[in-house]
Structure 1
Amino acid sequence: MSSSLSAVRPNGHTRRTRIVCIGDTHNRAVKLPEGDVLIHAGDLTNQGSYSELSKAVQWLEKTNFEKKIVIAGNHDITLDKDFYTIHSPSFHNQEHQDPAKCLSLFQSSRSLIYLQHESATIKLTSTDGPGTEFTIFGSPYSPQYGNWAFMYPRSPQDPTAPEANGTDDREKANAAELWSAIPTDIDILVTHTPALSHCDDDCGCWELRNTLAKVRPRLHVCGHVHQARGSQRVRWDIGTGNGAAAELAVEMWEDPNPDPRSAKMSLVDLTARGGKRPLDFDLEDPGLSSNSAPDHTSSQPRLEPQPKAGAEPQPGSCDPTGRAGSPSLDPGPSVCGEQSINPLAEANRAGRRETCVVNCAIMTTGWPHKGAKQLNKPIVVDIDLPVWRR
């Protein structure tokens, strides 16, 4: 199937849509604010047992959202069948779990949309909802650190890559090839790993960052690096050529309600409501036919970092100790694969001038979560999305 998604909508109208973002809940069923869409950015569990996953699914199914989108993370190990086949004794001793049975929890769910390195088109059809639609790509992968699921070696060009890229004995996908599966015209990207230099404590993925500079979605939701929870607005210089964009500016979000004891939301408002500055993401092109129907087709599924100085290396936490300064903000060459894109739709992409990045990790400490058990609040994003209902 083609992985290309049309960027042209039947009309140019948008409407505010509320997206509640969470990730790295690690067996915790946290209280969620109201919203239209729920996104979980992976690590629902600690070790991906059927019991852990079943409880997480039951919790998510009971939440009141019109659409609920879920990806796995490196701790949800049974959902990575190839990894679990080799390494299950290291995690579950003699209590071997059935990966197919674990995966079926999500595939059989009537309310969860589970994405494993694939895309989908989401329409909100509730009569009392916003009536908007968006295209989304979700992936559980993250750069190699320790012995965990859904991991790949960092690119040799990655300035954060260690000399040894892990010891897993599976054949692994090339990082650039892996992320080239992301369609260039999606609205929302959900990955377990952050991109390098964006809500990542300097240990995100360099290749994903290059891809982000080309795709430039409205919203990139991630987690994995617990201590980097937060949000940024990235302003792109779309005139740099070769499909990739340089970064003009990065605006840091200040949580209006950081106290986890407060009932007030941690809100990222990307709309024009109340005189605020909306996300600069305008796909309207008067030269395009208003009757052009979107051709949304899903792609087929394809297919941690150095510890703090003086600390015990632990998956789920990282630090740039020993690295020579911050990586360059030059996004480098495009890494998206050759994709068949309508020339008019590609010209329309010039409106992709901003991306909001959200690291929505709920846990505040890395695995095995020693010390304080304080939890971060969900991050709520208000964003203008295209209206599909005429």
Structure 2
Amino acid sequence: MASSTPSIIRPTRRTRIVCISDTHNCTVKLPKGDVLIHAGDLTNQGSFSELSKSIQWLEKADFEAKIVIAGNHDISLDSNFYAEYGQRFHNQEQQDSARCLALLTSSRTITYLCHNSTTIRLQDPKGPATEFTVFGSPFSPRNGVWAFGYERSGPASGAMGEVSTSKAEPSAAEIWNSIPMSIDILVTHTPPYAHCDSCPDRPEALGCVELQKALGRVRPRLHVCGHVHHGRGSERVTWEMGTPGGEVGVERWEDPSPDLSSAKISLVDLISRGGNRPLDSHDVAAQSTVSRNPSMPDPSDSPRKTTLPQFHTQPLRPTGQAGWDDDPGPGPSRPSNSSAGPKGLDRVNSVPTDPAETLSRMGSRRESCIVNCAIVATSWPHAGGRRLNKPIVVDLDLPIWR
């Protein structure tokens, strides 16, 4: 009779992650850390000059790893959207979408993710020597004419001028079902439904229902997002053990030093020190009796990718109101005779769920931390002036790779 494979809990070490989003051309002082994450909306309208300035700022930042995704305002990075509607932005001075994208993809210090994942291994001798798998996606529910949009589903469906989408366009469920189970950190532009997604002038939660469901399945240690400026903050979600989904508790983090003028960092401390309760999110790994040949490549170094949804946007009802995250105001109206259609659409590949992997995740990761790290605190037209938030710093235990 075959013996069962012994399991071990992987040792971890504190890793400091600095989280920002929705900078909209602003550059703020960044606290020290090991990893920098930007969850989208680097710019107001994604022009080459805007992107150049934002990327130069990020490239100069002193972090061992820097992870960046786009947001709905970084319109030139969504090539299909920009081909259809780009001429209506930038005072009709068309930008070169490929050249804009190359600013990120050719960067030597930035890891740009666009609905795909990769494994980051921190190798600085002075650093924590930890590793993590991160999945990043720019998509968010449509709100006006902006990039990387999809039709909203759930309680807020139809509330912001959406129309029925083509059958060829991936649904919200298809998009978020493509998140791999293997990730430690999830970075999305949109927040999940009912978590860090409230806005004082709207009664409904503004996050994505299908993303919320995916969180309950994947249970990342950390989920970094933005998009809803007023939702800035952090929540610790406790999951029901042994069952996909099933939130059984939520703890809201209170920023001890929200004032931008304060020298104190806005710290979400998820490690065990000073009496803190560490995040209950460990991995149980099978202990192999076979040693890996050090001359062979480590499979964890290879990016894990899913098929990026290539959206051809559908006509929407013209909007004359600013969206709750729209920094420069609403985009141009879509013409009623738009020719946008499903031609050339690539479907999202749903990631098959391994029952054993699912059971392992359901039985080990009891908590996830969600962080909305929007830097711009106000929404267009910024009554009383534009106000800025601090970056949010997260201390998180991650697996040691050495």
Give the one of 366, 371, 374 matched to 2:387.
374
Q: Does 1:299 align with 2:305?
A: yes
For 1:131 and 1:290, locate their aligned partners in 2 and report how far apart those are by CA, in whole Å. Answer: 23
For 2:76 and 2:206, locate their aligned partners in 1 and report how far apart those are by CA, in whole Å. Answer: 25
Is contact 2:222–2:370 with CA below 8 Å preserved after alignment? yes
Deviates more, 1:252-261 or 1:171-180: 171-180
Q: Match for residue 132 of structure 1?
A: 130
Q: Does 1:359 align with 2:386?
A: no
Is contact 1:9–1:386 with CA below 8 Å preserved after alignment? no
Is contact 1:268–1:382 with CA below 8 Å preserved after alignment? yes
The amino acid that maps onto 1:253 is W
The amino acid that maps onto 1:277 is R
CA 1:128–1:291 in structure 2 vs 1: closer, same or farther (change >3 Å)? farther
Q: 5+ residue gaps in structure 1?
A: 1-7, 304-311, 319-335
SS at match of 1:68: strand
Q: Aligned residue pairs: how many?
A: 351
Q: Match for residue 264 of structure 2?
A: 264
Give the one of 185, 191, 195 matched to 1:194.
191
The amino acid that maps onto 2:306 is Q
The amino acid that maps onto 1:348 is S
Give the Å deviation of 1:92.
1.8
Q: Match for residue 176 of structure 2?
A: 179
CA 1:21–1:292 in structure 2 vs 1: closer, same or farther (change >3 Å)? farther
SS at match of 2:242: helix
Q: Match for residue 69 of structure 1?
A: 67
Q: Match for residue 233 of structure 1?
A: 236
The amino acid that maps onto 1:363 is V
CA 1:170–1:87 in structure 2 vs 1: closer, same or farther (change >3 Å)? farther
Give the Å deviation of 1:90.
1.8
With the length of structure 1 as denominator, give the TM-score of the two structures. 0.84
For 1:205 and 1:346, locate their aligned partners in 2 and report how far apart those are by CA, in whole Å. Answer: 22
Q: Does 1:385 align with 2:398?
A: yes
For 1:57 and 1:230, locate their aligned partners in 2 and report how far apart those are by CA, in whole Å. Answer: 25
SS at match of 1:381: strand
Q: Does 1:224 align with 2:227?
A: yes
Is contact 1:233–1:251 with CA below 8 Å preserved after alignment? yes
Q: Match for residue 336 of structure 2?
A: none
Is contact 2:41–2:73 with CA below 8 Å preserved after alignment? yes
Is contact 1:10–1:290 with CA below 8 Å preserved after alignment? no
The amino acid that maps onto 2:305 is S
Query: Between the two proteins, what is the percent identity of the paired residues?
Result: 56
CA 1:263–1:113 in structure 2 vs 1: closer, same or farther (change >3 Å)? same
Q: 5+ residue gaps in structure 2?
A: 1-5, 199-204, 293-297, 310-319, 327-348
CA 1:75–1:209 in structure 2 vs 1: closer, same or farther (change >3 Å)? same
SS at match of 2:395: strand
Q: Match for residue 205 of structure 1?
A: 208
Is contact 1:235–1:250 with CA below 8 Å preserved after alignment? yes
Give the Å deviation of 1:25.
0.2
Q: Match for residue 327 of structure 1?
A: none
Q: Match for residue 161 of structure 1?
A: 157
1:276-312 CA-to-partner distances (Å, cap 9, x unmatched) read 1000012135x64376878444113411xxxxxxxx7
Q: Match for residue 306 of structure 1?
A: none
RMSD (CA atoms): 2.5
For 1:317 and 1:381, locate their aligned partners in 2 and report how far apart those are by CA, in whole Å. Answer: 24
Give the one of 86, 89, 92 matched to 2:87.
89
With the length of structure 2 as denominator, give the TM-score of the two structures. 0.82
Alignment of 1:19-98 (within 5 A): 19-98=17-96
CA 1:17–1:60 in structure 2 vs 1: closer, same or farther (change >3 Å)? same
For 1:86 and 1:290, locate their aligned partners in 2 and report how far apart those are by CA, in whole Å. Answer: 55
CA 1:210–1:170 in structure 2 vs 1: closer, same or farther (change >3 Å)? closer
SS at match of 2:249: strand
